[in-house]
Structure 1
Amino acid sequence: MSLTLKGIHHLTAITAQAARNVDFYTRTMGMRLIKKTVNQDDTSAYHLFYGDAVASPGADLTFFDWPVAPERRGTHAITRTGLSVGSTADLEWWKAYLAEKDIATGEIAERAGHVGLDFEDFEGQRFRLVADPDSAGSHPWQKSPVPAERQVHGLGPITISVPDLRRTEPMLTKVMNMHEVRSHPAGAGIGETHVFAMGDGGAAAELHVEINPDLAFAQQGAGGVHHVAFRTPDKAEFDQWVERTASFGVRTSGEVERFYFTSLYFREPNGILFEIATDGPGFTADEPLEHLGERLALPPFLEGRRAAIEAGLKPLS
């Protein structure tokens, strides 16, 4: 049996307004703040994690808090994040709900094989709510302002934009063991889209590659995405991914211990940053489940610097 990624692990985006970010994703989107920590490579910045009630791998939408200019949109970038809900009826509820919040949406329509609803957050972060019946076994957050049956279940699919498929496809299929399951012709403002699946696929295990040869290079910034991470279940399989990427000559970070998971970073040929991350040990490694996200959590290797780190962070409320 070949080594297989299990789906999307998390997606990390960029915000320049951390306090407003927390308000939007907890109070408007109804997600649980499951970890309030810092960027381990830049401890002046928050790293905020939102997810479901039990902090499931595959449900983590995360943000680095950086004082940067807005993203300049283009190609060579992750361009849209899928958020799964249970059904088309849920999409109709979300369309009405977002309208009540003065948040513009697109129309509910099928896009690249899934029925979805497009919208953006207050910084222009691009999302698509996707009707995914397979996500129904989710873990709703009882303190959410969004009704339990309407809440976001998880991530996927994730859309990236590249100018030419020929460089990206070998990375996805030969190195990462994904397989192309379908393609969709270009539409209004949307390039030809190729859908690559991990394992049995489905929304939570799909990467959509949109081909846009005429767009300029994107420039990362607030409202943009920093990287996407893919799931591997444990350290044993993670070690196999380290060996596999090395065997193909892929330049990687090597193993990076993040305490909540172990990571391997590398870029596909168009410069988009990918990560492979373990499902465990998870976010209860240093906080009880019922109190996740209530205080600033620091991994053990940063705990000795807590006072200085806290002094450099701005309040979130």
Structure 2
Amino acid sequence: MELKGIHHVSAITAKAKDNYHFYTEILGMRLVKKTINQDDPSVYHLFYADEAGNPGTDLTFFEIPNAGTTYQGKGSISGTSLRVPSDSALEFWEKRLSDYNVDHGGITRQGERNVINFRDPEGQRLTLISDETNQGVKGGRVWDHSSVPAEKGIIGLGPAKLTVQDPAPTVKVLTELLTFKQTGSYPSSFKGNEDIIVFETGEGGTGAEVHLEVRNDLPKERPGRGSVHHVAFRVDNEEELAQWRDRLQTARVPNSGLVDRFYFKSLYFREPNGILFELATDGPGFATDEDMNHLGESLALPPLFEHRREEIEANLKPLDI
């Protein structure tokens, strides 16, 4: 039982149509699944990823049309990283983001790596991170029809940044309950703050890291549009996921039990600082109900919702009009 890395990150958008434009046209990611929030089928759940929606490349968004402003703070997933192949790719992105008037901080250093911190139109905190020196989990493959050249494009998710006030209980969950190891640190961008701690699991590298930031100067985050709902970690298969459920129960950690998300099986729980973690299986994947060449082109509904297709489609606004 060893977690393989980041599986996906799920965030919140108030404007699905604008979100679709930004992540496909400007960032060049592929919409691999256009489906519904299974807890609220009146709104979209959108999945952007590499060409095949491989585990570790999915950035997903729940549409919440009335979502308010995010008030950033502790007890949060405060940063999502997107991997690009090289340092030279970051130079391409620095110009591209400027050309599209995207708020960004230019190329800077994050430990031993080059990065660009930027925000989407709703304030989502994002980082492009170079895989120039990556020795761990391999990235995905840019879609042939991406608006961005393959050698420059986004190839997966990088480290997830957590911001907490008290690091000890989160560290305990990561290292004693899960399978992360503390492997390093780098200076905070906020003067006087503690170094950000790096944890990794599985093969390690940019696709298998969590970065832990300690902030005593912030209130608890009030999430809204532009915030992250949860981060998911990769589990090999359903049998192993069941073993993780048993491990959580033995440790008396409240959890959701096994949940069938159709494209993968999941398990949810909160660590002591209130951050929602998900464990998710690598399969069966997004080609379960669509041809690989036509992923995301039509509304995909899990079997439990198929009998409501007409009603559900009538409530959803088209993304590309």
TM-score, normalised via structure 1 length: 0.96
Does the aligned pair in 2 maintain the 1:115–1:131 contact within 8 Å?
Answer: yes
The CA deviation at 1:137 is 5.6
Specify the code of the residue in structure 2 equivalent to 1:180.
Q
Matches within 5 A, 1:83-94: 83-94=82-93
Does the aligned pair in 2 maintain the 1:112–1:193 contact within 8 Å?
Answer: no
Specify the code of the residue in structure 2 equivalent to 1:28.
I
Instruction: Quote the residue 1:210 is aligned against.
Output: 213
Structure 2 counterpart of 1:285, from 278, 284, 288:
288
Matches within 5 A, 1:168-247: 168-188=170-190, 191-247=194-250
Specify the code of the residue in structure 2 equivalent to 1:29.
L
- Classify the secondary structure of the residue corresponding to 1:314: coil
Gapped regions of structure 1 (runs ≥ 5): none
- Name which of structure 1's ranges 191-200 and 165-174 shifts more when overlaid on structure 2: 191-200
The CA deviation at 1:184 is 2.7
For residues 120-153 of structure 1, the C-alpha deviation after alignment (integer angstroms, 9 at most, x for no partner) is 0000001110001347763121111111111100
Matches within 5 A, 1:21-36: 21-36=19-34
Query: Residues of 1 paired with 2:64 and 2:304: CA distance?
Result: 22
Does the aligned pair in 2 maintain the 1:86–1:136 contact within 8 Å?
Answer: no
Flag the 1:82–1:137 CA change in 2: closer, same or farther, 3 A: closer
The CA deviation at 1:315 is 2.3
Query: Residues of 1 paired with 2:226 and 2:139: CA distance?
Result: 30
Instruction: Quote the residue 2:100 is aligned against.
Output: 101
Does the aligned pair in 2 maintain the 1:55–1:283 contact within 8 Å?
Answer: yes
Instruction: Quote the residue 1:41 is aligned against.
Output: 39
Query: Residues of 2 paired with 1:308 and 1:113: CA distance?
Result: 51
- Classify the secondary structure of the residue corresponding to 2:81: strand
Instruction: Quote the residue 2:63 is aligned against.
Output: 65
Specify the code of the residue in structure 1 equivalent to 2:56.
G
Does the aligned pair in 1 maintain the 2:44–2:63 contact within 8 Å?
Answer: yes
Flag the 1:234–1:106 CA change in 2: closer, same or farther, 3 A: same
Query: Residues of 1 paired with 2:15 and 2:143: CA distance?
Result: 24
Instruction: Quote the residue 2:143 is aligned against.
Output: 141
TM-score, normalised via structure 2 length: 0.95
Instruction: Quote the residue 1:158 is aligned against.
Output: 160
- Classify the secondary structure of the residue corresponding to 1:275: strand
Q: Quick one: percent identity of the two aligned structures?
A: 48
Once superposed, what is the RMSD of the aligned Cα atoms?
A: 1.3
Does the aligned pair in 1 maintain the 2:57–2:140 contact within 8 Å?
Answer: no
The CA deviation at 1:238 is 1.0
Does the aligned pair in 2 maintain the 1:230–1:276 contact within 8 Å?
Answer: yes
Query: Residues of 1 paired with 2:9 and 2:221: CA distance?
Result: 18
The CA deviation at 1:310 is 1.3
Query: Residues of 2 paired with 1:86 and 1:136: CA distance?
Result: 10
Gapped regions of structure 2 (runs ≥ 5): none
Flag the 1:137–1:11 CA change in 2: closer, same or farther, 3 A: closer
